[in-house]
Structure 1
Amino acid sequence: MENDAIASLKDLDPAYPVPAVYHFLLQPENQEFLDYVHKDPFGCHVFPGDIENYPLESFFSDMEQGIREAKQIHLWAYIPTCRYRCHFCQFPTVILNPESASAEGIFRDLVDYNIKEARMWLEKVPSLAKAEIGEFNIFGGTPSLLPEPELRRLMDFYYTHFNFSAATLRFEGEPGTLNREYLGILKELGFSKISFGTQSFNDAIIASSGRQHTADECEETIRCAREQGIDWVSVDLIYGMLGQTVDDVKYDIERILALDLSHVVCTKLHMEEFMKTRTGVSGERESLWQKKGLIRTNGMTFPGLGKQYQMRELVEKYLKGNYREHPTMYFHQNHREAEKWKGLITDLDKQYPEVAIGLGGSSKCTRAEAINITHYKQYKQYLDEGRLPIEKSHGISPGQREVNAFKMALSTLIPVDDSVFSKRFSGKSFLKNHIIKTTLEKLQEKKLVVIEQGVVTLTPVGTTLVEAIINTQFTLTDAGQE
């Protein structure tokens, strides 16, 4: 009897080729990969620390050292406000009506608390004030809900207290609020990059995911940004959404090419299994689709894994001539630079620290990591008590630093060069790390990587499954103890 994962994998569109990854995942010996991609909803990857209950003072000391040693860092602020919650969202948000009488006070508080947290970081990590910011991001949520006075107040603080001399500025919003006037304000404030979620260019699919904008509004936002002199525009597309077909994704990619977009993020979304078994908001509350029982709506169903990988191959096929993928899921035009902030934290010759200010932020360096509280009331309570709102922190042992560095490098899809690795680790080859060496032997046997003259390159199937490789391999359980 077939299990759910195999049945989902066999859900194929006969009008399109069987994806290359299909036969790999169908093999019983590769069950751990299939189980992962079937259960993981968002195709993301993490690089966790291995030392539990790491003292915060040690974390800040590690961040101080890491920032002092780094050429640049990534700094970001998180603004959690949204007008509504997208059905697929599992991020911490503060839902409000921006036109309501209470909204002004909420926005003021959000900026106040963000600034308060940033001041505390500057006290705890003195080198942060002088560190060269490579890129500054305002993520969300929907930061473009911030009223102009609050946005200007927030940016005045960051410009005054951090080193933006070499920084590029990137802003995240949504089509309903990134209008011509707001884009003009962003341009004036120094933002040269914007990103927003289109998710699809099919209005029925946009609506089924709970989004309150249209495809035309997305295209209008792109036009308005260009009119303001912002030609670096990144849009997020999702494949695997309710009601979506392989033909729909083909149309989405055709629109990307027609619009000549500089950057696009294509994210796998396997929501059906996630919604059946897990909660969607900070691990506590049900997502909107779960509450309303909207696994199937108006005859719409989720595409299975087989169709999702057909969609992935279609994305690769259509973008191959004009775009490069770096890191995984992030595509940029050949004549453009890749996403700078991603390169700062994942490229093997960098992997610099990042500092996140705001609800649910994640800050890290090579030696330690910390994750902020995701509940807004608790977040404010910590700051009111004079404490940074950090929920948990981990240290990273010397051996795990090597493993994380290798995994990050693998996620970029750039071949991992041992000569670059050895420069990072005092002449040590990655093959001298028992976990990396043993895992690479396994991956090579499965034909997920090729190793030639000290350079590790993902095969096409390995590229498709890179998140599964990163999140299921490179463990002591698989590699054994030294």
Structure 2
Amino acid sequence: KYFRELTKKLLDIINRRLRPFAPNCELTFEANPGDLPKEKLNVLLEGGVNRISFGVQTFRDELLEKIGRKHTREDAFVAIREAQEVGFKNINVDIIYALPGQTIEDVKETLDIAFTLGVQHFSAYSLIVEPKTVFYNLMNKGKLRLPGEDHEAKMYEMVMDEMEKHGYTQYEISNFSKGDNESRHNLTYWNNEEYYGFGAGAHSYVNGERIQNVGPLKQYFNKIDETGFPYLDVHAVTEKERMEEELFLGLRKTKGVSKVAFQRKFNTEMDQVFAKQLQKNQEQGLLEEKDGYVRLTRKGKLLGNEVFQSFLID
């Protein structure tokens, strides 16, 4: 009841205040499997949510337990099936590979299961061990067995191959879709476009400024009471930074970055600003140019972070 009433109120505000500006917008709700029974799914669908994203991660229960997830493989099956039964036509499943003790065969098994579910979109990311986490501390003590870089690269290549084999188009380094189901809100980031973020801890990019809100909620409300705004940090993005971001965000997309669009946006040629980086990455087989777009090669996708970092101007 609590979820139903609050969610209805929130979605009503969104539909009244924001949807008139974009009647056909994508409205995504992210959840863990097991957190959205049919009653809640119906509330979301009736409120205009048209995309659901489930953080499945893997279909092996022992790995889910190892990474501290509360749901099981069966919970994931039920969540996806019930979302489909309620009427959701755009469902994303998040998958993580290079988990502790995970093998290439484990990843293949998760993909094989995933492809039977009939969802429209997959995100597949390798595990990132963040500082000040349990995994980070275990890794530093030599108690966390993670797949090596070579194994991680093989896992990623297999993910790309299997997605293509099953009809999913890779439109970004870690994202795959069927039909017209690309993640529109993520494309906003990768296209280096502006966006508003609302709520505690949210980020915005508005009028050339990157803004970070205070979080958690108590501090968020206190900040608004004190200053009228919930801002923790406001950074005015320089022209140099905008050009860097255009490359290292845009190159995440499979189609890459348009030279014409770059020139139109910054009133200068990409080749003039990044001549050295473009030449070096092309010579190393990491970048290629096709139909006026600069994009990652397959080898470049495997070494994406190195390519992106090369576009940070000294």
Structure 1 and Structure 2 fold alike (TM over 0.5): yes
Structure-1 residue corresponding to 2:247: 406
* TM-aligned CA deviation for residue 352 of structure 1: 2.9
Could you tell me which residue of structure 1 aligns to residue 269 of structure 2?
429
User: What is aligned with 1:417?
Assistant: 258
Confirm or deny: 8 A CA contact 1:327 1:413 kept in the other structure: yes
Q: Is residue 373 of structure 1 aligned with residue 214 of structure 2?
A: yes
How far off its partner does 1:437 sit?
2.0
Question: Aligned ranges for residues 10-49 of structure 1 at < 5 Å?
Answer: none
Aligned partners of 1:344, 1:200: CA distance in 2, in Å? 27
Larger radius of gyration, structure 1 or 2?
1
1:205 and 2:63 are equivalent in the alignment: yes
Q: Does the 8 A contact of 1:270 with 1:305 survive in 2?
A: no
Q: 1:177 pairs with 35, 57, 66, which one? A: 35
Q: Is residue 2:278 matched to residue 1:440?
A: yes
Shift of 1:444: 1.6
Within 2, Cα distance between the matches of 1:424 and 1:232?
Answer: 32
CA–CA distance in 2 between the matches of 1:261 and 1:296?
39
The yes-or-no answer on 1:457 pairing with 2:299 is: no
Match of 1:359 among 197, 200, 205: 200
> What is the deviation of 1:419?
2.1
- Give the CA RMSD over aligned residues: 2.4
Counterpart CA distance in 2 for 1:172 and 1:370 is: 22
Does the alignment pair 1:476 with 2:313? yes
Residue 366 (structure 1) shift: 6.7
In the alignment, structure 1 residue 162 sits paired with structure 2 residue 3: no
Which residues in structure 2 correspond to 1:27-176 (within 5 Å)? Answer: 147-164=3-20, 165-176=23-34
Pick the aligned partner of 1:269 from 118, 127, 130. Answer: 127
Q: Unaligned stretches of 5+ in structure 2? A: none
Describe the shift of the 1:227–1:392 C-alpha distance in structure 2 as closer, same or farther (beyond 3 A).
same
1:417 partner amino acid = S
Q: Give the letter aligned to residue 82 of structure 2.
A: C
> Does the Cα contact within 8 Å between 2:210 and 2:235 map onto a contact in 1?
yes
**CA–CA separation in structure 1 for the residues paired with 2:271 and 2:84:** 47
Q: Is the 8 A contact 2:194 2:204 kept in 1?
A: yes
Letter of the 2:146 partner, please give it.
Answer: F
Which position in structure 1 is the counterpart of 2:83?
225
For 1:21-70, what per-residue CA distance to the aligned partner results, in whole angstroms no more than 9, with x for missing partners? xxxxxxxxxxxxxxxxxxxxxxxxxxxxxxxxxxxxxxxxxxxxxxxxxx
Higher relative contact order (CA 8 A, sep 6+): 1
- Equivalent-residue separation in structure 1 for 2:204 and 2:305 (angstroms): 21
Name 1:330's counterpart in structure 2. Answer: 175
How far has the Cα of 1:473 moved from its partner? Answer: 1.4
**Matches for 1:176-195 after TM superposition, within 5 Å:** 176-195=34-53
The CA deviation string for residues 337-365 of structure 1, in whole angstroms up to 9 with x for no partner, is 31111223323xxx431111122211114
Distance 2:236 2:197 in 1: 17
- Contact 1:366/1:401, CA 8 A, preserved across alignment: no
Distance 1:296 1:194 in 2: 38
Q: Percent identity?
A: 25
Residue-by-residue CA offset, 1:247-283 (whole Å, 9 max, x unaligned): 1100111112111221011011143xx5xxx31xxxx
SS at match of 1:357: coil
Residues 160 and 386 of structure 1: CA distance in aligned 2, closer, same or farther (over 3 Å): farther
Kept in 1: contact 2:244–2:313 (CA 8 A)? no
| TM-score, normalised with respect to structure 1 | 0.60
Which one-letter code corresponds to 1:356 in the other structure? G
Distance 1:228 1:401 in 2: 42
Other structure's SS at 1:178 match: coil
Deviation at 1:147, TM superposition (A): 1.1
- Unpaired runs of 5+ in structure 1? 1-103, 105-145, 280-286, 478-482
Change (3 A) 1:465 1:191: same
Give the letter aligned to residue 170 of structure 1: T
CA distance in 2, matches of 1:232, 1:452: 31
Aligned length: 311
How far is 1:409 from its partner? 1.7
